[in-house]
Amino acid sequence: MKIWQKNIDVDSFVESFTVGNDRAMDMHLAAADVLGSLAHTRMLNSIGLMTDEDLVSVQQELKNIYREILEGNFQIEDSVEDVHSQVEMMLTQRVGEAGKKIHSGRSRNDQVLVDLKLYFRSEIQSLFQHTEGLFRQLVRLSEQHKRVLMPGYTHLQIAMPSSFGLWFGAYAESLVDDLELLKAAWHICNKNPLGSAAGYGSSFPLNRKMTTELLGFEDLNYNVVYAQMGRGKTERILAQAMSSIAATLAKFAMDVTLFINQNFGFISFPAHLTTGSSIMPHKKNPDVFELIRSRCNKIQALPNEIALMTTNLPIGYHRDLQLLKENLFPAFQSLSDCLEIATFMLEHITIREDILNDPKYDYLFSVEVVNNAVLQGVPFREAYRQIGLDIENGNFQPSKEVHHTHEGSIGNLCNDQIERMFAEVKKGFGFERVEQALDDLIK
């Protein structure tokens, strides 16, 4: 029997179907559930719903359970429906009647909401750290290879000279914009829903600002109905931010699979970081980047999955929302893995430095020749027409000296400015404030 049940047995088939994979998913929320209870019980004590003596015993045992979770010594029993019930049951077994008081002024609805927001904050910080690792590696490579030219393409046709500095730097700057979206998701996750109860508040004089401060939230979800409406919306916005990072990674992975191809031959990796063929001894397949591409494309579908699962749900809580965990939670690990292994692979990349010596790339420099004529006083349209005729007649002579000086060009990458933008985005998260609040809570 569940702690929320009355004296009615639930059919085992119905119970199995409704619980589903929730126990496994709830293991991700265990630490957050204890943090929420630590804050909630301190608030209950402040408004006279828990004695000082009960608070001491409850707080101490919650901290013991928290340590057990971090050490991997916590599990949700098969007879227990979810993590909230497991923690409350363990607490009651260990401290007695005081453990039964922790649910006053709280519903499982706002309990899971605060758990999710605390968990999402932790995962966002982890994603940020992995993204920062890749960002730093891309900037390093951009600076290291800024003078090495490579072909630039449009329509998969050779277009104009580019450089490895531009290529790596482009993806570094793309990650900065992706993190702007992740920061927006962070601010939405960093609002406190605790105290909204089942979605309509409580007759107890709850001090919601107190739990907001204790848990390090920036602000409240003030309207208790909206706090519940935020479930599903929060997940969708977070998935959109993850999808943006994934899109950058998938695009980069596609470039790598092209550029490592023998028909391009721009880059290579050590043999032990590629895979072979069962019958073709020459193969060095970029399986890592192919899997990054596929995993990240899968993550790009996540916002649509969540939107379709929550579309047209009326106001209030609905059990449909339980299934969001199964779609979103595994994506955190998958995206983190992709970021981490992409960073690792780039530590071992080799760049070919003589690419443009091949005559097939001579036409890359047609614009340079046109521009040189313009600098000598020839009108652009006339210079363009003349170089076009030279190409058509086989008389084109490339000028392979590239002089690009404006901001963000081959000769002026502005990586310092990209790093400045990254630092500004990072500062906007305020991770330190959250870390300090949680450290104070569990001391």
| pLDDT tens profile 378-431 | 899 988 998 889 888 888 888 888 888 899 999 999 999 999 999 999 999 999
Look at 96-110, 159-173, 225-239, 311-325 and tell me which has the smallest mean pLDDT.
Answer: 311-325
3: pLDDT strictly greater than 70: no
Look at 16-25, 92-101, 273-282 and tell me which has the smallest mean pLDDT.
Answer: 273-282
What is the predicted pLDDT for the residue at 191? 98
Three-state SS string across 179-205, please?
A: HHHHHHHHHHHCEECCCCCCCCCCCCC
1: pLDDT strictly greater than 50: no
What is the predicted pLDDT for the residue at 10? 60
**Pairwise CA distance, residues 91 & 313, whole Å:** 35
| Residues 426 and 132: beta-carbon distance below 8 Å | yes
Instruction: For each of the domains in the chain, give its residue range(s) and CATH number, in order of start.
Output: 12-101 (1.10.275.10), 108-148+162-356+414-442 (1.20.200.10), 358-412 (no CATH)
pLDDT band at 285 (very low <50, low <70, confident <90, very high): confident
Helix, strand, or coil here: 437? helix
Report the percentage of the chain scoring pLDDT > 70: 97
CA gyration radius, the chain: 28
Q: How confident is the model over 169-208, as pLDDT tens digits?
A: 999 999 999 999 999 999 999 999 999 999 999 999 999 9
What is the predicted pLDDT for the residue at 248? 98
Indicate the burial class of 283 (C-beta count within 10 angstroms; 0-12, 13-18, 19 or more).
Answer: exposed
* Mean pLDDT, rounded, for 273-298: 86
* Mean pLDDT, rounded, for 15-20: 74
Indicate the burial class of 284 (C-beta count within 10 angstroms; 0-12, 13-18, 19 or more).
Answer: middle
Residue 167's alpha-carbon distances to 147, 161, 215, 217, in angstroms, are 12, 11, 42, 38
Tell me the DSSP string of 23-90. HHHHGGGHHHHHHHHHHHHHHHHHTTSS-HHHHHHHHHHHHHHHHHHHTT-----TTS-SHHHHHHHH
| Residues 380 and 374: beta-carbon distance below 8 Å | yes
What is the predicted pLDDT for the residue at 8? 56
Tokens of 438: 């949680």
Helix, strand, or coil here: 149? strand
Q: How confident is the model over 315-355, as pLDDT tens digits?
A: 988 889 989 999 999 999 999 999 999 999 999 999 999 99
**Pairwise CA distance, residues 435 & 125, whole Å:** 10
**Pairwise CA distance, residues 83 & 3, whole Å:** 12
What is the predicted pLDDT for the residue at 7? 52
Q: What is the dihedral of CA 168, 169, 172, 174, to 10 degrees?
A: -110
Indicate the burial class of 296 (C-beta count within 10 angstroms; 0-12, 13-18, 19 or more).
Answer: buried
19: pLDDT strictly greater than 80: no
Tell me the DSSP string of 219-275. EE--SHHHHHHHHHHHHHHHHHHHHHHHHHHHHHHHHHHHHTSTTT--EE--GGGSB
- Tell how strand 350-351 and strand 267-268 pair up: antiparallel
| Residues 246 and 331: beta-carbon distance below 8 Å | no
Look at 3-7, 64-68, 101-105, 201-205 and tell me which has the smallest mean pLDDT.
Answer: 3-7
**Pairwise CA distance, residues 324 & 239, whole Å:** 11
**Pairwise CA distance, residues 292 & 288, whole Å:** 6
Residue 276 Cα to chain centre, angstroms? 31
2: pLDDT strictly greater than 60: no
Indicate the burial class of 8 (C-beta count within 10 angstroms; 0-12, 13-18, 19 or more).
Answer: exposed
What is the predicted pLDDT for the residue at 128? 98
Sign of CA dihedral 294, 336, 186, 221: positive
With vertex at residue 286, the alpha carbon angle to CA 282 and CA 287, rounded to the nearest 5 degrees, is: 110
Tokens of 323: 């299934």
